[in-house]
């Protein structure tokens, strides 16, 4: 994101949120939140009754009750507005980018300038240096470096080229060198940018399955408490008295779960927002919830478990060749190799064997690496030095395959592979010299992360193209639970299906077009933003930073969202005990004075007890807004301890807090003689 995150309660956000809080009183919108809607209906009813007069209660008392009931509703709409407002600030800058997009659309015999919104799927547009790419699409022709900071916040340019896995381009990003032709793959208004704007704004937010289920529960509780309250007048009549409507209303509103209902959508919006701030776009709220449920994480070895590049760690010469000789040949073969692996060979040769040569002679002829030969090398005068995969070297030097050196070489290769390293063979003029061992460097702290995941019941599976021996060794060193070696995209898909048939939910990340089926099959499929359009379409999340490690954090964010909902629901339900003890004696003490014994909080008077309960019920909402927006802290300590902790805080705390809170409010209410 290009905008800096607004702090939670900056004036910039609160002002508009207050306005929106009132706008959200619109019944058509409010009805989506049944509990708040009920509260508003009750508040409206009391307001009308107050206007009509005739209740036994004092005007001041009724007026205060009504004000607090309306505030309860407004605090709820405010919480939602505040959560939306935070996203909207980010959306504003994206929308500004979108507004200025124009396109050079290819027409017969040239290009014409059209607004980006007029582009359709299949159109070809030309994008030249310093142009903004007008629509999502694939590079049809050419190669260019593109600055995608508008979307990712990352200013280093990336290469986009026709064909292959780096062909996807996003609207609003800028070409900074060369020119490309882009085939538009989006329909107007449905591009990545549009989706992102809708997402961060919270507009058209669909309720997630869990949110719907929770809403059903809240409606159910509301109905149960409605029954409990609606029968009180009849019971009171039997006892020879009557209870004012305003008091019944107060009892109802304190009992129904207003706290969680008021904060529910704010929690959902804030959860998505946390993900966006984390530079991950979830295409649906359902995906975020699924992230919390993940049982199996498929992690690519390279970049997630190991740092991207392997390092040369050892030279092993065959008998009859000295290590120095091997080191020198390896260095010569690698001097022109600018990959990190090549440079690590040079470094190792210099440090360990004091080979001093720093540059190739002018007449040297470099043999570049190709996918066909799978080897590289150098020709120096009449000498040919080759470096490459063991099989490739043997194939390139027919006749060496059956020698004693070849046998020895194969044995070394196996040893190296078993130790989790990758062997590279070196040959000089058809003579096998030995092997360079390239070692995978496990990321610092990754082992501990996997232990954490295990405690949370999540199994990690390492996906790698390495052979099984190497894979097993790295898997053991990194502490993953399982590995899939020599993995093809089909293997990945099959593994996901197998896990899912066993009732597991699987998350993975990928970037290539051939990852697309697996990304679509996974319950959480995180596509890398640098990946192909097909991958980005198939996944249900896109990581703008293209960092596969994030999968682990995404699971944590999903859990945090669900935990926050559960914690506040438990808190809300537990609160009811104290509220009963505040209001029941207040209502019935007039019929049976002995029931004053139930007033265990020692509240000053029946009216102050009722008012205090209503005030507490309203004030708890804004007090919990920060928690709803920030989320309950997630700790990877296993479900049992986590539950014990959260029950202690939100369950037991939810039982006790209102006893204290209502008492405190009552002291103020009584002190100010409000009731």
Partner 1 sequence: MTVQGWLLILVFTAIVVALVKPMGAWLFALYEGRRTPFHFVLGPVERGFYKLAGIDPNAEMGWRRYALHMLVFQLATLLFTYLVLRFQDVLPLNPRALPGMSPDLAFNTAVSFTTNTNWQSYSGETLSNLSQMLGLTIHNFLSAATGIAIAFALFRGFARRQTSGLGNFWADLTRITLYLLVPLCIVYTLFLIANGVPQTFASSVDATTLEGARQTILLGPIASQEAIKMLGTNGGGFFNANSAHPFENPNALTNLVQMLSIFAIGVGLTWTFGKAVGNTRQGWAILAAMLLLFLGGTAITYWQEAAGNPIHHAIGLAGGNMEGKEVRFGIAASSLFAVVTTDASCGAVNAMHDSFTALGGLIPMFNIQLGEVVVGGVGAGIYGFLLFALLAVFVAGLMVGRTPEYVGKKIEGREVKLAVLAIAVLPLMILGLTALAAVLPQGLAGPLNKGPHGFSEILYAFTSAVGNNGSAFAGLTAATPFYDGLLGVGMWIGRFFMIVPALAIAGSLAAKQHHPESAGSFPTTGPLWIGLLVGIILIVGGLTFLPALALGPIADHVAMLHGQLF
Catalytic amino acids? 300
Residue 127, helix vs strand vs coil:
strand
List Cβ neighbours of 304 (8 Å cut-off, separation of 6 or more). 443, 446, 548, 549, 551
Question: CB of residue 261 vs partner 1: minimum separation in angstroms?
Answer: 14
Residue keyed to tokens 């933003």: 529
Q: How many residues bind partner 1 (CB under 8 A)?
A: 77
Site for partner 1 (CB under 8 A): which residue of 165, 194, 300, 576? 576
Binding of residue 363 to partner 1 (CB under 8 A): no
The region, left, alpha or beta by phi > 0 then psi within -120 to 50, assigned to residue 109 is: left
Residue 109 or 240 with smaller CB distance to partner 1: 240
In 3D, which of 344, 358, 531, 362 has the Cα closest to residue 440?
344
Binding residue (CB under 8 A) for partner 1 from 99, 237, 660, 668: 237
**Interface characters, 294-333, with partner 1 (x: CB under 8 A):** -x--------------------------------------
Tell me which residue has tokens 């019929």. Answer: 591
Q: Which of 31, 213, 441, 476 binds partner 1 (CB under 8 A)?
A: 213
Which listed residue (332, 378, 456, 528) binds partner 1 by CB under 8 A? 456
> Which stretches of 57-163 are DSSP H helices?
59-99, 149-152
Name the segment binding partner 1 (CB under 8 A); options: 80-88, 346-354, 376-384, 567-575.
567-575
Least distance between partner 1 and beta carbon 520 (Å): 19
Give the Cα separation of 61 and 246 in Å (integer). Answer: 9
**CB of 32 vs partner 1, minimal distance in Å:** 15
Q: Among residues 45, 57, 63, 217, which is the contact residue for partner 1, using CB under 8 A?
A: 217
Q: Least distance to partner 1 from the beta carbon of 640, Å?
A: 5
Structure tokens at 357: 């040569």
Distances (CA, A) of 252 to 134, 222, 225: 55, 8, 7
The order of strands in the sheet holding 482-484 is 280-282, 541-543, 524-528, 506-510, 296-300, 459-463, 482-484
Q: Which is nearer to partner 1, 212 or 668 (CB)?
A: 212
Q: Tell whether residue 639 is a contact of partner 1 (CB under 8 A).
A: yes
Q: Could you tell me the smallest distance in angstroms from the CB atom of residue 624 to partner 1?
A: 15
Q: Looking at residues 271 to 300 of the shown chain, list those that interact with partner 1 (rule: CB under 8 A).
A: 289, 292-293, 295
CB 515 within 8 A of CB 493: no
Phi first, then psi: what are they for 645, rounded to 5°?
-65, -50
Q: What is the 3-state secondary structure (H, E, C) of 386-454?
A: EEECHHHHHHHCCCCCCCHHHHHHHHHHHHHHHCCEEEEEEEECCEEEEEEEEECCECCCHHHHHHHHH
Query: What is the spatial distance between Cα 253 and Cα 131, in angstroms, rounded to a whole number?
Result: 58
Q: What is the full DSSP assignment across 357-382?
A: --S--TT-EEE---TTT-EEEEEETT
Pairing label, strands 541-543, 524-528: parallel
Rg (CA), the chain: 33
Give the residue with the Cβ less far from partner 1, 243 or 487: 243
236 lies in the site for partner 1, by CB under 8 A:
yes
381-420: which residues touch partner 1 (CB under 8 A)? none
Element (H, E) at 104: strand 102-107
Q: Tell me which residues in 640-669 interact with partner 1 (CB under 8 A).
A: 640, 642-644, 646-647, 650-651
Out of 152, 279, 460, 560, name the contact with partner 1 by CB under 8 A. Answer: 560
Q: Which is nearer to partner 1, 236 or 467 (CB)?
A: 236
Which part of the chain contacts partner 1 (CB under 8 A), choosing from 91-99, 107-115, 167-175, 225-233? 225-233
Calculate the alpha carbon distances from 258 to 230, 231, 547, 569 in Å. Answer: 18, 21, 40, 10
Q: Which is nearer to partner 1, 87 or 585 (CB)?
A: 585
Per CB under 8 A, the segment of 206-214, 299-307, 379-387, 617-625 that binds partner 1 is 206-214
Q: Which of 374, 443, 454, 497 binds partner 1 (CB under 8 A)?
A: 454
Per-residue buried b or exposed e for 56-82, using 16+ beta carbons within 10 Å of the residue's own CB: ebeeebbebbbebbbbbbbbbbbbbbb
Q: Using the rule CB under 8 A, which residue among 482, 592, 626, 630 binds partner 1? A: 592
**Which of 44, 57, 419, 584 touches partner 1 (CB under 8 A)?**
584
- With CB under 8 A as the contact rule, the residue among 221, 249, 461, 675 that binds partner 1 is 221
Q: What is the DSSP string of 517-583?
A: HHHHHSSEEEEETTS-HHHHHHSSEEETT--TTHHHHHHHHHHHHHHHHHHHHHHHHHHHHHHHHHH
Supply the minimum distance, in Å, between the C-beta of residue 638 and partner 1: 5
Q: Does 163 bind partner 1 (CB under 8 A)?
A: no
Q: Which is nearer to partner 1, 193 or 567 (CB)?
A: 567
Is 109 a residue that touches partner 1 (CB under 8 A)?
Answer: no
Residue with smaller CB distance to partner 1, 115 or 233 = 233
Helices (H) and strands (E) in the chain, counts: 24, 22
Q: Exposed/middle/buried for 227, CB within 10 Å: 0-12, 13-18, 19+?
A: exposed
Which of 455, 467, 481, 553 binds partner 1 (CB under 8 A)? It is: 455
With contacts defined by CB under 8 A, name the span among 46-54, 122-130, 174-182, 635-643 that binds partner 1.
635-643
Lookup: tokens for 26: 């619109």
Question: Which one among 182, 200, 567, 669 touches partner 1, defined by CB under 8 A?
Answer: 567
Identify which range of 153-161, 277-285, 356-364, 594-602 contacts partner 1 by CB under 8 A.
594-602
Q: Does 573 bind partner 1 (CB under 8 A)?
A: yes
- The least CB distance from residue 443 to partner 1, in Å, is 23
Q: Is 569 in the site for partner 1 (CB under 8 A)?
A: yes
Contacts of 420 (CB under 8 A, 6+ apart): 439, 440, 470, 472, 473, 474, 476, 477
Nearest approach, Cβ of residue 231 and partner 1 (Å): 4
Q: Is 194 in the site for partner 1 (CB under 8 A)?
A: no
Task: Tell me the CA distances in angstroms from 385 to 333, 380, 390, one per residue in order.
Answer: 6, 8, 14
Which 540-559 residues touch partner 1, going by CB under 8 A?
Answer: 558-559
CB of 225 to partner 1, least distance (A): 7
Binding residue (CB under 8 A) for partner 1 from 326, 432, 458, 621? 458
Give the nearest distance from C-beta 299 to partner 1 in angstroms: 17
Interacting positions 478-537 with partner 1 (CB under 8 A): 502-505
In 442-512, which residue ranges form alpha helices assigned H by DSSP? 446-455, 468-478, 489-501
């Amino acid at each position: 994101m290009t905008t800096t995150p607004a702090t939670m309660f900056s004036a910039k956000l609160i002002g508009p949120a207050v306005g929106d809080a009132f706008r959200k009183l619109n019944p058509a919108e409010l009805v989506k939140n049944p509990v708040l809607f009920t509260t508003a209906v009750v508040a409206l009813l009391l307001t009308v009754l107050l206007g009509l007069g005739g209740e036994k209660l004092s005007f001041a008392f009724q007026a205060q009750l009504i004000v607090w009931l309306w505030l309860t509703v407004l605090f709820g709409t405010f919480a939602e507005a505040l959560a939306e407002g935070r996203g909207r600030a980010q959306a504003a800058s994206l929308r500004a980018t979108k507004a200025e997009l124009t396109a050079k659309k290819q027409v017969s015999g040239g290009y014409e300038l059209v607004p980006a919104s007029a582009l359709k799927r299949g159109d070809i547009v030309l994008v030249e240096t310093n142009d903004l790419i007008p629509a999502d699409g694939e590079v049809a022709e050419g190669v260019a470096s593109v600055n995608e900071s508008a979307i990712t916040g990352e200013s280093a340019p990336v290469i986009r080229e026709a064909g292959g896995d780096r062909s996807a381009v996003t609207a609003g990003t800028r070409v900074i060198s060369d020119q490309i032709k882009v085939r538009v793959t989006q329909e107007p208004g449905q591009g990545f940018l549009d989706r992102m704007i809708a997402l961060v704004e919270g507009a058209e937010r669909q309720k997630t399955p869990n949110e719907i289920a929770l809403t059903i529960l809240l409606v159910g509780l509301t109905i149960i408490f409605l029954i409990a309250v609606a029968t009180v007048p009849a019971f009171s009549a039997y006892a020879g008295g009557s209870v004012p409507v305003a008091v019944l209303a107060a009892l109802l509103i304190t009992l129904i779960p207003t706290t969680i209902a008021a904060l529910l959508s704010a929690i959902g919006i804030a959860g998505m927002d946390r993900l966006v701030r984390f530079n991950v776009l979830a295409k649906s709220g359902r995906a975020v919830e699924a992230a919390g449920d993940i049982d199996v994480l498929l992690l690519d070895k390279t970049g997630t478990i190991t740092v991207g590049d392997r390092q040369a760690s050892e030279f092993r010469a065959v008998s009859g060749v000295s290590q120095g000789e091997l080191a020198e040949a390896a260095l010569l073969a690698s001097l022109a190799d600018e990959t990190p692996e090549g440079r690590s060979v040079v470094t190792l040769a210099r440090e360990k064997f004091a080979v001093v040569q720093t540059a190739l002679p002018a007449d040297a002829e470099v043999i570049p690496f190709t996918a066909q030969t799978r080897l590289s090398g150098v020709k120096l005068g009449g000498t040919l030095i080759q470096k490459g995969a063991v099989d490739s070297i043997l194939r390139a030097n027919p006749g060496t395959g059956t020698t004693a050196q070849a046998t020895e070489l194969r044995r070394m290769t196996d040893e190296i592979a078993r130790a989790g390293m990758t062997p590279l063979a070196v040959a000089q003029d058809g003579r096998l010299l030995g092997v360079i061992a390239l070692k995978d460097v496990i990321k610092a702290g990754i082992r501990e992360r996997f232990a954490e995941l295990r405690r949370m019941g999540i199994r990690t599976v390492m996906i790698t193209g390495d052979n099984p021996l190497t894979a097993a060794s790295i898997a053991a060193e990194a502490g993953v639970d399982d590995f899939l070696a020599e993995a093809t995209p089909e293997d990945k898909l099959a593994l996901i299906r197998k896990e899912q048939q066993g009732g597991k939910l699987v998350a993975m990340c990928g970037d290539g077009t051939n990852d697309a089926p697996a990304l679509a099959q996974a319950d959480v499929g995180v596509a890398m933003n640098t990946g192909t359009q097909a991958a980005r379409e198939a996944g249900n999340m896109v990581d703008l930073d293209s960092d596969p490690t994030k999968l682990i954090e995404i699971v944590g964010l999903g859990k945090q969202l669900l935990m926050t909902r559960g914690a506040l629901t438990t808190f809300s339900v537990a609160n009811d005990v104290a509220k009963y003890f505040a209001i029941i004696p207040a209502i019935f003490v007039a019929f049976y004075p002995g029931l004053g014994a139930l007033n265990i909080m020692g509240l000053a008077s029946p009216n102050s007890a009722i008012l205090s309960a209503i005030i507490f019920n309203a004030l708890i909402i804004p007090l919990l807004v920060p928690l709803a927006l920030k989320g309950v802290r997630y700790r990877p300590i296993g479900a049992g301890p986590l539950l014990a902790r959260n029950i202690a805080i939100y369950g037991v705390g939810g039982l006790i807090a209102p006893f204290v809170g209502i008492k405190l409010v009552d002291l103020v209410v009584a002190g100010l003689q409000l009731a």
